[in-house]
Structure 1
Amino acid sequence: MVALTLALTACGTGVTVEDPDLTLYGAKAIAQEGETEVIAAIPEHIVRSVDQRPTGSLLSCTGERNYQWAGGTTVHVAPDTDLEAVIDDVAHAYSEQPEWEVTRETATDGAPLVTLYRVTTGGYLVSGEEDRSTIEIYSFSPCFHLPDDMTPHGSY
């Protein structure tokens, strides 16, 4: 999980604000809707439950007070699910959409991993966890400018 968190943070480096009207809560909504879309690429019959975290944190983007909202969802899957195949299916579903950049990898712990990125919706790391009972979806939104009256250190 630490490796995924570091990878997620690295994704925000050098990213700039594309939509000057995007707010923190709009960015959060985009990221969480994207998590839900990723879940839709997972076969329904293997999904036992979904736990979308209600809050996340902010990652820096290029420029003063520019941030991305970062959050996540845990998908609990049926025992003996072939997570390699599921992650491959997610990667394939997104690779057929030209606006998405898709990178299929293996995490340092051997877990299957796919990175999905699109400028307008941010990015997602989708990984089968070591215990093979969950799929983690880590999200980060497009960049937005945080107003001066909000702290970047809060949980939103």
Structure 2
Amino acid sequence: MIESIAEGLSNLHFLRPFWFAGLLPAAILLVYFGWRKRNVGNWHNIINPALLPFLIEDKDTEKGRKAQWNLGFLALSWVLCCLSLAGPTWQQLPQPVHKQDSVLVVILDLSPSMLGEDVTPSRLVRARYKLIDILTQRN
């Protein structure tokens, strides 16, 4: 059974793995909020103990637990969104990339001298025919 799970996971590919970079801000925010929660500070030395529960959210209070659940739900949603945007797939298909290595640059003189009638057909028509011949030979 473990082998079939390992084989199934080895076939798992992601079409757009760069979306996993979106997990980095989520991790930074979770670390920041966790650090902020632990380092409330020494407010209990300064604030009257009767006012302290109303001013500082404690994880033991209902409001503090709700804030933790909201943060956890937000983090889970963020991870699931990044995972779905990465495009998980079980089959890796070849990407259809058409890249032609040979480049052709054609420079054609379109000045009025190309309209000269010294040769039949005109120089411009001859140049056009030559371009058509070059392009048909390339394909």
Which TM-score applies when normalising by structure 1? 0.24
Higher relative contact order (CA 8 A, sep 6+): 2
Structure with greater helix percent: 2
Structure with greater strand percent: 1
